[in-house]
Structure 1
C-alpha cells in the first residue's frame, strides 16, 4: 500500500505517534517491536503505520471508527478466500488499554500504489478485474452480517442528508449531481437478497500494481444490502472507457439491471460533497470528488 502523509484531520480524537505505536507493540506483540516503523498515513477513520517490509498497523482514530476495525477482524478472514484479489486480512489483533482505548490490527502490507494517485486512463487495464472482485463479494450475506446506516441502504434513507449536501452551489457540476440523485431515487429500489457490500471501493481504497488490480483495502464499512453503493465506483474510479469495461463485465457476472446502475450513479453523486469537503487535508480525495462529478455529468 503506497500513500503519503497528510495534515491531521480535525475529527481525529486519538493520535498514534511512533512512540505510542512502538509501546503498544512492546506490550502486546513484542516479537514485532524491533521492526522499523515508517510511512504513517492518516485516513478518514484510521491511521496506518508501515511495519517492516511486510506488515502494517491499523489504528482507529476516533471512537466512531473503532467498530469498523472489529468488523474487519471478524469478517475478513471469512471473506478473503472468496475474493480473486488481495485484501488486508488482519494477522494479529491489538487490545484496547490505558494508553489507547480501542482495538487495533496488524495487517499484511500489500504492494501497489493507491489508485487515486494513478492516471485515470491507466485504470481501464484492470476495470474488469475490479468487476470480478466485486462480483465475487456481492453474494448473499448471512443474517448476522454488519449493518451500515450509510452504505447499502435504500437511497430514500439517505435523501434528507444527501439532498441538503447537494444544495451547495460550489460543488462541481452541481446540477448534474442533483439530477443523478433524483434519478436514482426514482429508480425501483433494490428488491433482491441482501449481499455483501464493501462499502467504500473508491480509488483511495484500491491498489494498482502495474497494469493489474493489486488489492482491495479498507473494509471498515463492510455491510450487507444493495450492491449499488459499491458499483458507484464505475464513476468514481474510471473514465468513460474504463467505466464501459467495468459495467459490461459486472453485467455479465452479476446481471445487475438498469435500475441498479441508476442507483449506483446516484450513490456516486452523493459521495462528491464528502470527497471534496477537505481539499487541504485530503487532496487526493478532493481530486477523486472532482473526477466523480465530471463523470456523473457525462451520464
Structure 2
C-alpha cells in the first residue's frame, strides 16, 4: 500500500464518501459494509463492498478515462479469455463532490504473486501465456489504441530522462550506462510490422491474482487496446524466473525482435517508475528495482 500521496493531484476519498455514493446511486447495496482495501495501485482507490463486491474510484483525472474504457470493453472481451476478469456490476456517476465516474465490480479472490515466492512458476508462465495468446486472438472492431502500445521510439524521451534522473540518485545503484545500452540496442531492432493485436498492456504483478501458484484472475484493464504484441511480455522480467521466462516465450512463439522490444519496454517502465515512486509506493519501487536487476543481468 502506498505510504504517501503518490500524485500531486490526488482527489481525497474516504469511507464516508463511498457510503454516500452507494446509498445515492445503488440503494440496493446501501448498508453493506464498506472497507478500504490496501493496494499498491497508484491511479485508483478500492473499497470492499460487502463480501462479494469492490468499488473502484479514480484518484486522479486520468483514471476516469480508464473507468469508461473498462465499462465499455470488459463485457466484450471477457467471453474470449480463459481467465476471470473484472465484471462491472454498477456504473457510478460524479456526485457528492466526487468529480469522476466510478464502478462497482464483482469481487475476485486471490493474492498478487510475489517474485521471490512463486510456488508454481512454470505453470504460472503457461497460464500467463494462455491469457496473452487469448488477448491477441480477439478481433473485436473499433478497438482503441493501447496505452504505451505504439512504436518503441515513442518512449525514447521519457526513458532517457529517467536514466539521467537515476544518475543523480547513486544510492539506487543503477548501472545507467548499461541501461542506456540495452535501450539503444532495442531501438535498432525492427518494429512490429504486423496488424496491431489486443493487449492488456499493464501486466504488472499487482494486476494479477493467483491461488496455489496458478493464475486465477487478471485485473485493471484501463490500459487495454491494440498495439505491439511486445507490450504484453512484461511478466517475463517483472515476475518470472529464468526457466519460467523461457517457457513463457516458447508458449507464445516470440521472435527475437519482439522479445528485445518487450525487454526494453519492461525496462523503460521500471526506469521511469523507480525515481517517481521510490519514496511513495514501496511495491512499485521494489518491482522496478527487480526488473532493472533482471534485465541488466545483476540478479
- State TM-score, norm by structure 1: 0.90
Partners of 1:180 and 1:33 in 2: CA distance = 53
SS of equivalent residue, structure 1 residue 285: helix
**Which consecutive residues of structure 2, in runs of 5 or more, have no partner in the other structure?**
none
- Give the alignment of 1:86-165 within 5 angstroms: 86-116=84-114, 119-120=117-118, 122-139=120-137, 141-142=139-140, 144-148=142-146, 150-165=147-162
Contact 2:113 2:209 in 1 (8 A): yes
State the partner residue of 2:31: 34
CA offset at residue 90 of structure 1?
1.2
- Give the alignment of 1:130-279 within 5 angstroms: 130-139=128-137, 141-142=139-140, 144-148=142-146, 150-167=147-164, 168-169=166-167, 170=169, 172-251=174-253, 256-276=254-274, 277-279=276-278
- Of 78, 89, 94 in structure 2, the residue corresponding to residue 80 of structure 1 is 78
Contact 1:240 1:295 in 2 (8 A): no
Partners of 1:234 and 1:201 in 2: CA distance = 10
CA offset at residue 229 of structure 1?
1.5
Q: How many residues align?
A: 291
**Which consecutive residues of structure 1, in runs of 5 or more, have no partner in the other structure?**
none
Partners of 2:205 and 2:256 in 1: CA distance = 24
CA RMSD of aligned residues (A): 2.0
Contact 1:151 1:223 in 2 (8 A): no
SS of equivalent residue, structure 2 residue 277: coil
Contact 1:196 1:224 in 2 (8 A): yes
Of 19-28 and 158-167, more deviation after overlay is shown by 158-167
Partners of 1:23 and 1:117 in 2: CA distance = 38
In 2 relative to 1, CA 244–292 (structure 1 residues): closer, same or farther, beyond 3 Å? same
CA offset at residue 117 of structure 1?
7.3
Contact 1:166 1:174 in 2 (8 A): yes
- State TM-score, norm by structure 2: 0.90
